[in-house]
Amino acid sequence: MLLQVKLSKRAEKKLDNLFNYLETKWSERAKNNFVKKLQKAIKQIQQHPSGFPKSEIIKGLHKLVITKQTTIYYKYDKKYIYIITVFDTRQNPEKLLDESKE
């Protein structure tokens, strides 16, 4: 049985902003391609939640690179995968510490 996925409010907001950016600055197609990559990544996490590296920046979180610019950080228990944040890797890594506090 696959674990259910829950997005933090921060992750939801960041994904909405990212989708809007991709659609307005690039194209609907670029957004759709990213959504496909995101769905594939989430399915991979659901199948093997412990199969991805632990974050060196935030204890207790795992990370999965979706694109070279975008990484998701998550934790999990027996029932759920909690996506804590979606991080733009071009930002200062210290900003990630602030984003993990929710």
Please state, in angstroms and rounded to a whole number, the distance separating the CA atoms of residues 93 and 26: 25
In a domain? residue 44: yes
Q: How much is the pLDDT for 91? A: 60
Q: How much is the pLDDT for 56? A: 86
Mean pLDDT of 60-86: 93
In a domain? residue 17: yes
Q: Which CATH number goes with the domain that contains 8? A: 3.30.2310.20
Could you give the C-alpha distances from 39 to 23, 46, 72, 92, in angstroms and in order? 17, 10, 12, 26
Inter-helix orientation angle 28-47/9-21, to 10°: 150
Mean pLDDT of 29-51: 94
In a domain? residue 102: no
Total domains in the chain come to 1
Q: How much is the pLDDT for 78? A: 92
Q: What domain range is 71 assigned to?
A: 4-96
